[in-house]
Every structure is written in C-alpha cells, then in structure tokens.
A and B are shown apart, each in its own frame.
Chain A
Amino acid sequence: MLQDRELGQALRAALQAGPDGAFIARIRAEMTASPTWWEVLNIWARPGLAAAITLIALAGLWLGAAASSSNGMFDETIAAAAPGSGGALLAADRPPTVDVMLAVARPQN
C-alpha cells in the first residue's frame, strides 16, 4: 500500500496548527516544573547522606559507650591471665619478642 501524497498533503494542511514555537516552549516549561524521579533523588541525596552520616556517628558513639563499659571486664580478665599466656601478652607494656610469641603459640598439653 502506497502513501496517497495528494490526500496526505491536503490533510496535513487541514490539520496544521499555528507555529510550533509556543507549544514547544510550553512543554519545555512543564518539563522544568515537574522534576523526574532521578532529579527528586538528586535533591534528596545530600540531606539523605547527611542523615546517614549522623546515624552512623550516633551508632558509633553508642557502640563505643557500650564497649567501654565492657572493657573493664576485659582488662580484669587480661590482668588475671597467667604469665606466658595470650592474655598476659596483650596486657604487656612492651611488644613481645619472637621467643615469647613462639612460647605462647606452642600448644600446651
């Protein structure tokens, strides 16, 4: 089936509206007025990031507080550790020598 050019041209003229300029400008303005989902996402990205950082910081503080309260028990455990054991190694003021490390690592029967 071929195009009926004569009828097509007549219909085109009959359906032709005024210049498209104003129409195009109207659509562009509407596009600007109604942001897309990614633009909404972009708008919320910074506040969202700030909120996430704040939450992480608060969670860190809370965890830190919880850990420091249990550290006392941990220190006591280490202090009570037998000389030459892993606990004593952690409680020591100075880094251990290789001989001490090997002694601790050796399985004790």
Chain B
Amino acid sequence: MKHVEDAVLATRSQAGHRDAFGELVSRYAGAARRAARAVLLDDDEADDAAQDGFLSAWRNISRFDPARPFGPWLLRIVANAATDRLRRRRVRRAEVLGPTLSSSDPSPAKETERLALGDALRAALAELPERQRTAVVLFDVEGYSAAEIGRALKIPEGTVRSDVFHARRALRRLLADWHDEGGTDAAGS
C-alpha cells in the first residue's frame, strides 16, 4: 500500500476498510505523536492523546473530505485531543508546566550531546505558549504551510506566521543560552 495516496486510503476507510485506515495510522503515527508531544510535553500522555485523536478520526472518517489533504485534518483532531487533555491536566493539578520539565527526566551521567540538546529543546518548548509550540512544530517539523496550520488550528494564517516567528526566536535564544552554558554547535546559531 506504499504508493496508494492518502485520499484513496481515506475513501476506502470511509467504506469501512480497517486496513486502509490502519495504513493511514502507520503513515501519520510519528507526526501525530510529535504534535501531541509539542502540546503536552509528556510522552505517555501525548501517546494517549494521539491515540484518542486517531480513534476519533476513525469514528468520524465519514466527515472527512477526500478532496482535501488528510494530514492537517488528522492533526487538528490530534491537537484538539491533546489540548483537551492539557486543560483537564491544568484543572486536575492546578499547575503550569515550567522550564524544570527536563530536570524530571532521568538522564544518565554520560548522556550524549543529542540527548542534552533534546532536553534543552523540550525545556524551551515548555516555556512557549501552547499555540506557539504547536504552530512551530507543525510548520518546521511536519512541514505544513501556514494556511494548512491555520485551518487546522482555526486561527488566521497571519497569526500562524506570527506564532512561528515568536516561537523560533524564543527557541533560538534559549538554545543559544544552552550553547553558551556548555552545549555544542548542534544548537545552531
């Protein structure tokens, strides 16, 4: 099924073919998990949210318009599922995620520079507003256009561009700090 287009798989899914939707799950699992992580910054909870999103998409596949791209439609559902979980978590714990997130991750003494960079980035992401980090991940990581992200997040395209700009600036600044404190060139300029 490698060369079958998303629209064909979605149409088959609408006809009730589980295998077709299963193929879409395989294709978008990574993107959905990353998008959920960008919102929730918690691996287990992000996977639960991504799963909720996929199952919701499966139940509502009849509402999908195969003339439109499948990725943004799915990621909107996943982002909504993650945001719902984030709201419930805030109510439950009455606390806001802070930059100390990475310090709670168990890190071996001799962790690689890549892992250190990952920790720094997750900490930097945690300092951003939820919408900014979702926008920057969908734009720079998943490669969606500002228009597609705007439709997915139900915000104007200009707001997406602004969110991506501010998120990038903050991430670059925080990564530069991390670099100055003993990181490597991996963080870039």
Which residues does A use to contact B, with CB under 8 Å? 1, 3-8, 10-17, 20, 23-24, 26-28, 30-32, 34, 36, 38-39
Contacts and interface: CB of A to CB of B under 8 A. Distances in A.
A95 B143 CA distance: 85
Contacts of A28: 18, 22, 25
Contact of A1 (B25, B43, B164): B164
Interface string B55-68: 10011000000000
B29 A23 contact: yes
Contacts of A39: 16
Chain A residues touching B, majority SS: helix
A34 B51 contact: no
Size class of the contact patch on chain B: 35 or more
B161 to A, nearest CB: 6
A5 B168 CA distance: 11
Chain B residues touching A, majority SS: helix
Most buried by A among B30, B43, B122, B171: B30
A43 to B, nearest CB: 13
A38 B15 CA distance: 9
A13 B131 CA distance: 20
Contacts of B104: none
A14 B141 CA distance: 11
28 contacts: A1-B139, A1-B165, A3-B140, A4-B168, A7-B140, A7-B168, A7-B188, A8-B143, A10-B186, A11-B125, A11-B141, A11-B171, A12-B34, A13-B118, A14-B118, A15-B38, A17-B43, A17-B46, A23-B29, A24-B29, A27-B22, A27-B25, A27-B29, A28-B22, A30-B55, A31-B55, A36-B58, A38-B16
